[in-house]
Amino acid sequence: MSELEKNTNAPENQEKEQFSLNDDRRVKTLSPGALVVRRFIRNRVAVTGTIILIAMFLFSFVGGLITPYREDQLFYRTTQQNKQYAAVKENTEFRYVTATKDSFPSVAQAKFVIARKTGKTSFEGKKGTTYTYEEIGEDFCVIYEDGKEDPVAFATYDTVSSVTSDGEVAFDLQCEILQAIAVGEDSFTLDGVEYTVAEDGSIYKGTEEVAYASRFIVQAIMSDVFLTRTFKEELVTSIQDGNMDFVFTDEDGTEASYTVTYDAASKSYAVLQTVETKVFDTYSAPSKEHWLGTDRNGMDMLTRLMYGGRVSLYIGFIVVIIETVLGVILGGLAGYCGGWVDNLIMRIVDVFYCIPSMPLIIILGAAMDAMRIDPQIRMFYLMLILGFLGWPGVARLVRGQILSLREQEFMTAAEATGVRASRRIFRHLIPNVIPQLIVTMTMSLGSTIITEATLSFLGLGVKFPFASWGNIINDVNDTYVLTNFWFIWIPAGICLLATVLAFNLVGDGLRDAFDPKMKR
Amino acid sequence: MMTEKKTMQIGAQTVPVTYDPQYILMVNNLKKYFPIKGGMMNRVVGQVKAVDGVTFNLKRGTTMGLVGESGCGKTTAGRTILRLNGGKTDGQVLFDGQEIYDLSDKELRTLRTKMQIIFQDPFSSLSPRLPIGEIIGEAVREHNLVSKAEYTDYLDRVMDECGLQPFHKTRYPHEFSGGQRQRICIARALALNPEFVVCDEPVSALDVSIQAQIINLLKNLQEQRQLSYLFISHDLSVVEHISDSVGVMYLGNLVEYGDKKDIFAHPLHPYTKALFSAIPIPDPKARMNRIVLEGSIPSPANPPTGCKFHTRCKYCTKRCKSETPVQKEIEPGHYVVCHNYE
């Protein structure tokens, strides 16, 4: 008061005034906004929160633009994969080849084996058919049926295959070839054509190779694979040499390596082809290309985090805006109008408070799942649902504030000075509600992000292909991932924690800054 | 002073008064009852008769002190006169001959610039989130009292008159002391250039040295601007200092009303006598002749019948208990409501 007295009644003591610490010398006046900013900046914790938030915003909104990858871009890696390719079996039993017109049933085949073991040259098949056989070599017999001039079948250890993939070798020719091999002839003539049998089992018609004979049966596992003669031969040679690894270069020059394993039970060799295969690059550790590795779909984790942050922040803000707009309008109406309006709105609020929000959201989420709603539209629904469930808290707060403020003397004073009702509300009431409103808004930003993350984690919120921090963490649905791939859940967890914490810090800081009773 | 006063009745039907231009404010049998809600379904179960028939006239450029003990309805009367308590229950409030309860909201807002109020509590009567300049100047702009170009100068001038500095404009109420705040309240009221100000215990929240400053400020402003005050207070010495006429209230009724000199020199009503006997005399040798009242003030929800003061009056007669007294002019301009002066 002393300086006021001086100002009002003492222009004469000019000299004294020079040394006085008058208010106008001492304090620089600041605009109300600047005061709030100043008080906020002085709050170290709040500034830390703001910096975290700015970093999060940059990370989410600018980061998404900078990153070279798309949100849902899939990455692949190549791996060596062993594929069942072929099976090789050395023939140690007679195989029977029957002439096209005739039949040599399995009963007869068995009888033949017995006859051969007992040294008989003829045996009886079914229905009294009598067969005779002529043993041409150790492992080649030609079988005749009584009354027929031409052989009906032959039994052999070797097989004759055509050199072309779809070619067939005629019965007669097979028979001649095997006979030639069995007696050790170099050439034979069939139907006036001269054939030559080479050392390695190839049969030439003139100079053209038509077929080959081999004791090994090499069969492809896959029906679409044709095994070339060279491949078969080299494979067989390799097996005979005892090599279990086999490299083959085909006519196109493509090199492939094969592993051969021997299966004693079936007395056969399995050939595994080692192929380079492209697979989704899942759970790859952090690297130069993927700073935070990749997730279970083979998408870049850092990029997912950025886009997830976008979604989380978007949802947080929109939900809080919906909540606040509804809450302020309805709470303000209830508080200012009172009477039946107040009663009605507050009963609606009570009803909303009775709704268990989590089960409701889960049910709605499941319903949207069932309706196969597009993930993008689903996101909007999620915002609406969360917003509509959140406003009663805000409305209650605003109503309570307005009820208490309405009875304050300064409101009567404003009425007494004849200020319009709208002005009274917006200049006198609302500014006094704002601090509490801002605190709840920022706090509910944090909690909304948490709710969204929870829902997404449960698979009810934001859906693939959209990322959100919640559904990123959802990747950790087994202990194996939890313990082995830290980069899946730790970064998302940190983002979530930092953002929510920062919102709460900023909320507290703002409340203090808006409070004029705080020290300047 | 009041020639037509004899026609006015207390407790009976209000007889309309006619406008007399010498009075800025004419209050005739003003009543304000507040409902008591309770029981099932919020029924109205009773009424608090906060103001139960108040009649007085206020001359232009003068101050009327309204005194009485706590809870007697002084503040309610002041606010009801300004139509700040919702509706009235009965009676007339003529401001410049205009019944203010007949005005539309828009007309009332315009009229509010002419009549202002200064509140008792300078802490709660200033919006904590508005700077002082805004608090004082808001209504000036609202009513377009001065042009935009003159606005700043005008505001500075008003603030200067009330002992505030121009740089205070950007400050907030919490940065001021109680006395400064009361000056702000006064500046807010005076910025509208009113003719009539209700001062609702403007100094009771302040310490004595500042009380004097504020009282002097109010007196100076009255001289400069020809203001009329309704000065509500329970502090009789302050009222004696500032008032031209004095009204004494007891339980919603104005029991005695007249010139300051008359009232202080020879109070007539037993309650006034008891009240004034409690004024401390700054002389240790003086013999205090205090009249101590028995009991406490009855509830305004259930006031005694007849004269409301009869429960505590030592001159109480049988008539006092049954018959409600009417306001009578005992000497020119000195009215009393008591059966003992018939």
Kindly report whether the peptide bond that precedes residue B280 is cis, defined as omega within 30 degrees of 0.
no
CB contact under 8 A, B124 and A409: yes
The verdict on ipTM greater than 0.85 is no
Query: Per-residue pLDDT averaged across A126-137, rounded?
Result: 78
CB contact under 8 A, B170 and A32: yes
By C-alpha distance, the chain A residue nearest B177 is: A1
- Alpha-carbon distance A307 to A287, whole Å? 20
User: Quick check: B216 contacting A, CB < 8 Å?
Assistant: no
How much of chain A, in percent, has pLDDT values that exceed 90? Answer: 14
What one-character-per-residue DSSP string does B120-161 give?
S-TTTSS-TTS-HHHHHHHHHHHTT-S-HHHHHHHHHHHHHH
Buried b (16+ CB within 10 A) or exposed e, B202-221: bbebbeeebbebbbebbeeb
Q: What is the pLDDT of residues A360-405, one digit of tens each?
A: 888 888 888 888 888 888 889 989 999 998 899 999 999 998 888 8
Q: Is the confidence at residue A1, as pLDDT, over 60? A: no
- Evaluate whether B243 touches B63 at the Cβ level (below 8 Å): yes
User: Which residues does A426 contact at the CB level (< 8 Å), separation at least 6?
Assistant: none
Q: How would you list the strands of the sheet with B43-59, edge to edge? A: B43-59, B23-38, B90-95, B98-99
Q: Is the confidence at residue A254, as pLDDT, over 80? A: no
pLDDT at site A4: 47
pLDDT at site A53: 93
What one-character-per-residue DSSP string does B264-320 give?
HHS--SHHHHHHHHTSPPS-TTSPP---PPPS-PPPTTSPPSSSTTTTT-TT--HHH
Of A1, A413, A423, Cβ closest to residue B125:
A413
pLDDT at site B10: 41
- Does this model's pTM top 0.80? no
In chain B, positions 80-119, which contact chain A (CB-CB < 8 Å)?
A: 82, 84, 108-113, 116-117, 119
pLDDT at site A51: 95
To test the contact with chain B by mutation, choose from A408, A410, A427 the residue with the greatest count of B C-beta atoms within 10 A, namely A410
- Alpha-carbon distance B163 to A299, whole Å? 72
CB contact under 8 A, A423 and B171: no
How much of chain A, in percent, has pLDDT values that exceed 70? Answer: 92
To test the contact with chain A by mutation, choose from B112, B118, B127, B145 the residue with the greatest count of A C-beta atoms within 10 A, namely B127
Q: Facing residues of A161 across strands?
A: A212
Q: Facing residues of B329 across strands?
A: B335
The sign of the CA dihedral A480, A486, A487, A493 is: positive
CB contact under 8 A, A417 and B116: yes
HSE-CB for B88 with a 13 A CA cutoff: 26
CB contact under 8 A, A4 and B163: yes
Of A4, A31, A412, Cβ closest to residue B84:
A412
pLDDT at site A57: 93
In this prediction, residue A56 has a pLDDT band, given cuts at 50, 70 and 90, of very high
By C-alpha distance, the chain B residue nearest A410 is: B125
| Largest CA-CA distance found in chain B, in angstroms, rounded | 68
Q: Is the confidence at residue B3, as pLDDT, over 60? A: no
User: Quick check: A118 contacting B, CB < 8 Å?
Assistant: no
Q: Is the confidence at residue A289, as pLDDT, over 70? A: yes
H or E element at residue A511: helix A486-514
In this prediction, residue A142 has a pLDDT band, given cuts at 50, 70 and 90, of confident
- Alpha-carbon distance A172 to A151, whole Å? 9
- Alpha-carbon distance B200 to A448, whole Å? 49
Query: Per-residue pLDDT averaged across B238-245, rounded?
Result: 90
B214: left (phi over 0), alpha (psi -120 to 50) or beta: alpha
pLDDT at site A184: 77
Query: Both tokens of residue A496?
Result: 């979530």
Q: What is the pLDDT of residues A184-233, one digit of tens each?
A: 778 888 777 888 887 777 788 877 777 877 777 777 777 777 777 777 77
Contacts of B170 in chain A (CB under 8 A): 29-32
In this prediction, residue B163 has a pLDDT band, given cuts at 50, 70 and 90, of confident
Q: Is the confidence at residue B13, as pLDDT, over 70? A: no
Of A413, A420, A434, Cβ closest to residue B142:
A420
User: Quick check: A7 contacting B, CB < 8 Å?
Assistant: yes
Query: Per-residue pLDDT averaged across A154-168, rounded?
Result: 75
Of A29, A413, A516, Cβ closest to residue B119:
A413
**How far does the CA of residue B106 sit from the closest CA of chain A (Å)?**
9
Q: What is the pLDDT of residues B195-238, one digit of tens each?
A: 999 999 888 878 888 888 889 888 998 998 889 999 998 888 88
pLDDT at site B297: 79
Beta-sheet strands, E only, within chain B: 23-38, 43-59, 63-67, 90-95, 98-99, 115-118, 196-200, 228-232, 245-250, 253-259, 327-331, 334-337
Q: Which of A92-96, B77-81, B165-169 shows the highest mean pLDDT? A: B77-81
Q: What is the pLDDT of residues B83-103, one digit of tens each?
A: 988 888 888 899 988 888 988
Query: Per-residue pLDDT averaged across A123-146, rounded?
Result: 79
User: Quick check: A417 contacting B, CB < 8 Å?
Assistant: yes
**How far does the CA of residue B77 sit from the closest CA of chain A (Å)?**
15
pLDDT at site A519: 54
CB contact under 8 A, B108 and A418: yes
Q: What is the pLDDT of residues B271-328, one digit of tens each?
A: 888 888 888 777 888 777 778 887 777 888 888 888 888 888 888 888 888 888 888 8
By C-alpha distance, the chain B residue nearest A5 is: B163
pLDDT at site B244: 92
Query: Per-residue pLDDT averaged across A446-467, rounded?
Result: 86
CA B189 to chain centre: 15
User: Quick check: A418 contacting B, CB < 8 Å?
Assistant: yes
User: Quick check: A517 contacting B, CB < 8 Å?
Assistant: yes
Q: What is the pLDDT of residues B122-151, one digit of tens each?
A: 888 888 878 888 889 888 988 888 888 889
User: Quick check: A32 contacting B, CB < 8 Å?
Assistant: yes
User: Quick check: B129 contacting A, CB < 8 Å?
Assistant: yes
By C-alpha distance, the chain A residue nearest B198 is: A416
Mean pLDDT of chain A: 81
pLDDT at site A10: 46
Query: Per-residue pLDDT averaged across A286-300, rounded?
Result: 85
- Three-class SS state of A232: helix
In this prediction, residue A517 has a pLDDT band, given cuts at 50, 70 and 90, of low
